[in-house]
Each structure stands twice: as structure tokens, then as C-alpha cells.
Amino acid sequence: VPHPSDVDSYDDVLGEELTGAATVHSGHDAVFKLRTSEGVKIKTLWETGPGRKVASTGVASGVMGDDSPEVELAYVDPSTTVSVEFGYRVGGIPSDTDERGRKTKGDPTVYFQSALLYTASDGSRRVRVSTLGLRTTQLVGDCFRGADLGATAAILTRRAAARLREPPHEDDYSARGSAGGGPLKKARDEAAELCVAVLAAYRMYTSARSSPQSQLILPENLQTLPLFALSLKKGPMLRDTVKPIGGGAGMSGWGAGSPTADERSYAVHCGGNASCATAVLTSHPDLYRLTEDGDWGGRVKPRPRGSTATGRVSSSDPVTSASLGPYVKLPPLLPPSVACV
């Protein structure tokens, strides 16, 4: 998103968006289906767009033991993402066999196959089939070494977006009818609980259990997962609406509270479309390394016009006043606990 002082950059961004939408390879009237090999089942599937949760039917079909429900998509492009959660069937994953039917040594392989039926831009009906085989492991540490932060963040974001779309119940709200209850509170609590569950599993079932209890041990690939979960909870999609002090209304509608209904709806829309590449960016756009001196690449914009030496601006909007100030203001000496972040 361009800085408010860069007025000319809005035309460039709009031009890139329109050009990309007109030239991207796309399909229409698509139907998506996914199935797995024996021992694995499709637990939950989230459609793209609204982030609606679809439960698995669990219908057995030949060698591929579990089929997902058919997901109808009106429009697909390279950025379309369907999030899926898998689970284990009773009995686990069977061992691989050779041509004579004898069990082979080593960990078995599990297979996933997806099929996308769609209408191309030239009107032809096409089907794209992708098959993926992954070697399993009996070590939990190997699972964490192969974990992807983008995929984990996308699942957390889509779960939160789907939770917000569930109809609220009367017992979800407190006696005084506070907006802090209901779907918002459930989504925030679920995001925190999932993050804690992942870190607790790493602590209990890997070599990290031999470390001192007072020491925080994080998986190498998920070191910023707690930061992402905190950013998701405090982002415009899940945080409570904060009323302005004094009840005044500014130029940008600050009197309605922040985030407004439109801002939250847009955040939920982005969360329902979150992918591995965009989930972290939508919640925490930029991460800067504060402990190293280097070239910032022009990412820090100069202070806009109208600001004073103290960083104050003549605006009645508190959000605008805060955004026009310095980006980071650090003390001369950083404590070790902060310098290691």
C-alpha cells in the first residue's frame, strides 16, 4: 500500500492491478476435487473466497481411500488457493509392498491427488490432475523441519475467517452484551490455542524436551509463528472495535471506531483468500532486522509535509497522526531480550 505522501504511486499501483487482472491465465466454472491414499483422510477443506468450511464425506473410492466433496469455483487463477487439513485413519498408514505383495523396509509413502475441471479462456473444457507422493516419518522433529510458515499462517488465517462467518449463539455473549464475546473472541482464542499447541508439541515430542524449562525453544522454520499469531489477534479482522476518546468524528470517520464494519469485512475477505504467499503479508507486512546496520533500500519514506520537528501534525484523526510520525524510535542501548527479537 503506498504511503499517503506518495500521491503519484497510486496510479502505478492501479495500473499494475488492472494489467495483471487482464492478462492473467484464468478459468471459469471450475470444479475441484481431492483424494488421498489409504491411512489418511481429509479432515476439513476451506473454499477460496468466503473461507467457508466444508466437511469431508469420507467416501472410499478404490486405491485412493478418501474423497473430498466437490468444490465449485466460479473463477480460478494462479493465485487461487484451497486449504485442506488432513487426519489419520484408524490403523494408520499401511506399509508399502513390492510386486510380490511383501512389505518393504522403510517408512511408507502417502499420496495426494487433486483434479481441477475448468473452462479455459478459449471455451474448451480442461482437467488438470496433480499427484504428490510424500515419504512419512516416525520422528516428530522431521515434521517440524519440513514445516512451512506460509502454509501454517494460511491455515490459521482461514480458520479465523471461517469462525467469524459462523452464526453467533446467545450464550457466546456476556450478560452486558459486550462485543468482545461471540465469534471475535472465539477466533482470537482459537488462534492463540493453535499456536500454543504447535509449540507445546515441539517441546514435548522432540529433542527440545531436554532443554531447561525456563528457556523458550522454537522450531527453526516457525520461529516467527508466535509473532504472526499475535499480529493476527491484533489485526483489523479479529480485534475489538475501539471507540474514540471524546466521541469526536474526524475526517476519516474515526468517530465510528476502528476498525469500522467495512474495514473488518475487507479484512475477513482477505483472510478467506489467504494463501501461503500472502497470509503473513496481510497480517504483518514488513519485518525489519533491527540489530544490523545496512541499506534499507529506500523503504523508509521521508516525513510528509505538515509535520513538525516533534512528529506532531495538524490532524484530528489519531490514526493519521500516528502514521505520519517516525517508523521506529529506539533507545541508545537495547536490552538483550529486545535485541534478540
What confidence score (pLDDT) does residue 285 get? 60
Measured distance CA(237)–CA(285) in Å, rounded: 15
What confidence score (pLDDT) does residue 57 get? 41
**Domain 139-236+258-287 top-level CATH class:** mainly alpha
**What are the angstrom distances between the C-alpha of 136 and each of 107, 110, 132, 197?**
6, 7, 13, 21
Measured distance CA(1)–CA(326) in Å, rounded: 18
285 grid coordinates: 507486512
326 grid coordinates: 517516525
DSSP E strands, 8-123: 27-36, 40-46, 53-55, 59-61, 64-67, 71-76, 83-88, 109-119
Give 119-142 as a DSSP string: E-TTS-EEEEEEEEEEE--S-HHH
202 grid coordinates: 515441539
What confidence score (pLDDT) does residue 60 get? 33
pTM above 0.75, yes or no: no
List the domain boundaries for the chain. Answer: 25-136, 139-236+258-287
What confidence score (pLDDT) does residue 114 get? 92
What confidence score (pLDDT) does residue 56 get? 46
339: nearest Cα among 284, 290, 287: 290
**Residues 154/274, Cβ–Cβ less than 8 Å:** yes
Whole-number CA gyration radius for the chain: 24
**What are the angstrom distances between the C-alpha of 244 and each of 58, 177, 263?**
50, 20, 16
**Residues 173/181, Cβ–Cβ less than 8 Å:** yes
13 grid coordinates: 499501483
What confidence score (pLDDT) does residue 293 get? 56
Measured distance CA(49)–CA(83) in Å, rounded: 11
pLDDT mean for each 10 residues of the chain (341 residues): 51 84 88 90 72 45 51 86 86 80 83 93 93 91 91 92 79 50 87 94 91 85 91 90 64 62 89 87 66 54 48 47 51 55 46
Is residue 225 classed exposed, middle or buried when 0-12, 13-18 and 19+ CB atoms within 10 A define those classes? buried
What confidence score (pLDDT) does residue 176 get? 43
State which CATH number among 2.40.160.50, 2.60.40.10, 3.30.70.20, 2.60.40.1670 fits the domain covering 25-136.
Answer: 2.60.40.1670
Alpha-helical regions (H) of the chain: 9-23, 140-145, 149-164, 183-205, 225-233, 261-272, 279-283, 318-323, 336-339
